[in-house]
A and B are shown apart, each in its own frame.
Chain A
């Protein structure tokens, strides 16, 4: 009897700390965006949704978040796969097996500060370029932070994600005994290029798909890095939402909540797709 109550208690606490905050948060944001709650509540209205869905800036924000995540993850995957496939053992044994973990100890806010001081117009690279005679004035240095292409944001995420994926793929390489598969492929006559692109890369990417996808969503929803090194004219979704919430114009708040709900729906759909794909793959296996 006592055990049964403990089980009920445990599961209730689980629901209370995992699902309740999310359901409460989304419900509140949805009600606010529909004009049903909040200081500006004027009764049920779709006007805030019409405004954000018809606003090109909202779609640009969503598109920009997807673009930053896709480019950051794409570059990081390319670099980490190249590093691991070039020397699979280097990251699990020896000196590098320790040093490769160091970048994981840098929080996003510190990485953003570092990128700002490195790539900014008055940053370290600009100073080095000046000393080397490549530029003669600060203004000549290209806009790599607070720019419309998100270069600073992408570089920051690439620096953070590359060591992560390198460690991840190096361990996968070992766990999946990829070395033996590649040896077998070579025995069957596959050349170097075929071994990499027909065997190694597909195995690593398929096995690591869920992790890659979760990291993609993490980049898409990132806040600190775009806040410090992002542009004001093209913003990522978290920055746009929070800035609208913190403005003095109360009329912006329902729209900020509408963006939150729209973003949550998008991520939920993507996550649902991932779970469906995973289940399908498991069914096949």
Chain B
């Protein structure tokens, strides 16, 4: 590939980021101006200043995604072991594909009634539980290929030497699985971070995550704040990518 083609491709890839950043610092953009007439950092100061509730949405999104990712990673790691060593492992695993038959937003629509009955409708806990329904099965599928005979032998060795199940997890399994646990955690964090439809339906707008803010600002025709909220949504994944290079994403895609 020629250097020119490479640079052109990189330019194309960076265009949406530059465009959103441009709008986030713009103030007036009358037609047919190609660029905003005024530039200011005042929109970004709204986040730091705490007005518009954007700062709260950032914190809420971080808290929700961290909770979902931590719970789903931990639970799916533990549960996947019991599935992976079962003689009918494939049949059990096929259950994990169930949630993908539904689009998340349709799943939320069909489960609304149960969330109302349980008093979880429009609450942080309700949104967290609803997101678990799509992230937990993903985690189980992710870890299902992790468990193998070698790990089983290591576990049995710990027990032969007098160790408990807890010690086998703490001293052997978790340290061995550190890389896989981190990758799974980041992927589940992103699934939760990007979620809109299910969060909106189960949260009834009372759990205003950043994705809901983008939609709110678009509806209010406030494109500059919508662009700002978009930048805030994109920043953490880009930072993760920068830190981990492609590791987090690569394992998500490679067959």
Contact = CB atoms under 8 A, between A and B. Distances in A.
A238 B110 CA distance: 12
A22 B83 contact: no
Contact of B23 (A87, A117, A211): A117
Contacts of B81: 10
Interface string B1-37: 1000010011001101101100100000001111000
B54 interface: no
A242 B105 contact: yes
Nearest to B136: A17
B176 interface: no
A216 interface: no
Contact of B165 (A2, A103, A214): A2
A167 to B, nearest CB: 5
Given A21-B107, A25-B111, A102-B241, A171 B250 contact: yes
Given A96-B6, A117-B19, A124-B34, A22 B101 contact: yes
B6 A113 contact: no
Interface in A1-54: 2-3, 6-7, 10-11, 13-15, 17-19, 21-22, 24-26, 28-29
Contacts of B113: 28
Interface stretch (B40-48, B145-153, B192-200): B192-200
Interface string A75-113: 000000000001100100011111111111111111101
17 contacts: A19-B98, A21-B107, A22-B99, A25-B102, A29-B110, A98-B241, A101-B250, A106-B16, A107-B193, A110-B233, A113-B230, A124-B34, A171-B250, A171-B254, A223-B104, A224-B196, A263-B106
The 8 A-B pairs at the shortest CB distance, nearest first, are namely A221-B103, A25-B110, A10-B82, A105-B237, A130-B32, A87-B1, A107-B194, A110-B230
Interface of B: 1, 6, 9-10, 13-14, 16-17, 19-20, 23, 31-34, 75, 78-79, 81-83, 86, 92, 94-107, 109-114, 132-133, 136-137, 140, 165, 193-194, 196-197, 201, 211, 214-215, 218, 223, 226-227, 230, 233-234, 237-238, 240-241, 245-246, 249-250, 253-255
